[in-house]
Structure 1
């Protein structure tokens, strides 16, 4: 039976303490070199590198088989890639486009761009959620929606929907509700129709008024709180104004 050795235990604990302090110091130094960025401002590449650096730092702190120098060197090498990509992005437009990507227009002139949704791997419900997060509870209120390289979605409301202070206008605004989605990706949401006191026949007639012969042609159809029907057709994308590269 092996006798418990207090000396070995103390040395092991001390080694972990030293390793942890070393990893934190290296990370602190690296953070100052890389500059300050919020998580939402990180590119996908920066995010992956950050995870890798954190993993190496954690391994260095508790794995006594990793030499101090090797662990610190691994963290610095990964950090060097971030510094290099940052430098190249500042110096070269092509490098910036390759490393950071470019913004993707999801809605233009109030129209969903289906091909860009596929490209960005966004489905309609995600776009609607992003719009609601920005205060637009109906897609008909949105002029432009842009998926930024950080993964955030920027929303520009239509001119008539831009916020005004009611007090400045000396008016008492009426309450607004949310838009009811009636068709998504060609599928009629019968339950939603019932909730807004409408039926399939009403929907068919309204679609005919807009020269739409089948729900299968519709990418998104929603009924605003004021009773206006917004219809966005499949394969009717406007030419994307890719002026954000």
Structure 2
């Protein structure tokens, strides 16, 4: 067999083995790595390279070496799931680097983390003043976790005492001009509904790059042709307008009737509708 064919076949085998082992080791192996995971990744990559190109080496010897480097981290992961002490030994411990707006220089030196690196990590979190930080911790992965002081945290509905409904994730119903039936059924709609909504804005699904439906049933589309303008969804705005019209009609019926019982009924219904509008307006306007 030709040498290049041998290398190609060995490389395909090495890729298949690495892919399988990485899937078994889990997402941690391809995310922000701990020290041990970093070493394991380098070793597996080097072994796969030698296994692919070193024709004179015995193929099974390379597989055995890769299997050893796979078994050790896999076994340690199972052990560290049950032992906090082992986790700290192999993965390390997080280190506090900022507390009450003060930088802990000794902890920075211990982790060999410079002031410039600290400021850079803070800027990636959109924090430009150390004095605004209540607490910052350098994680074992090297990422910096930051807690801002209360008066510098973003304002949320909870701060204002406003209750909001749970937000469901939007469903992507068209990708590259192809309709995705599973997301459509997940959100409770059909192809006919989607076609009707696309007709309203004057586009066909073949011209849509991405289309998403949010929890309120509003359709957002991005077209292949960015020069075309698509009207913004108006479902929530129309619903709010309909509710206000209902309130106005109830008040009008109450003023128009001479029947005392009917007048009281319409006024009560109008009052209830007003409360509904006040409750739903923050949801329908956001």
TM class by shorter chain equals 0.5 to 0.7
- Determine the structure 2 residue equivalent to 1:29: 20
- Determine the structure 1 residue equivalent to 2:71: 80
Is 1:45 paired with 2:36?
yes
1:42-100 alpha-carbon deviations (Å, 9 max, x no partner)? 21110111011001101111110221101111111111111122112112111111001
1:161-203 alpha-carbon deviations (Å, 9 max, x no partner)? 001269x98xxxxxxxxxxxxxxxxxxxxxxxxxxxxxxxxxx
TM-score (norm 1): 0.61
- Structure 1 stretches of 4+ with a deviation exceeding 6 A read none
- Determine the structure 2 residue equivalent to 1:99: 90
Cα distance change, pair 38–57 in 1 and its aligned pair in 2 (3 A): closer
Partner SS, residue 37 of structure 1: helix
Contact 1:40–1:150 (8 Å) recurs in 2:
no
What is the alpha-carbon root mean square deviation over aligned residues?
Answer: 1.8
- Determine the structure 1 residue equivalent to 2:10: 19
Is 1:162 paired with 2:153?
yes
- Determine the structure 1 residue equivalent to 2:49: 58
Contact 1:40–1:152 (8 Å) recurs in 2:
no
Larger radius of gyration: 2
Consecutive unaligned residues of structure 2, counting only runs of 5 or more, are: 161-286
CA–CA distance in structure 1, aligned partners of residues 96 and 30 of structure 2: 22
- Determine the structure 2 residue equivalent to 1:113: 104
Partner SS, residue 135 of structure 2: strand
Cα distance change, pair 38–80 in 1 and its aligned pair in 2 (3 A): closer
1:3-22 alpha-carbon deviations (Å, 9 max, x no partner)? xxxxxxx5211111111111
1:221-232 correspondence to structure 2 within 5 Å: none
Consecutive unaligned residues of structure 1, counting only runs of 5 or more, are: 1-9, 170-245
TM-score (norm 2): 0.53
- Determine the structure 1 residue equivalent to 2:245: none
1:114-193 correspondence to structure 2 within 5 Å: 114-164=105-155
Cα distance change, pair 165–87 in 1 and its aligned pair in 2 (3 A): closer
Partner SS, residue 160 of structure 1: helix
Cα deviation, residue 39, structure 1? 3.9
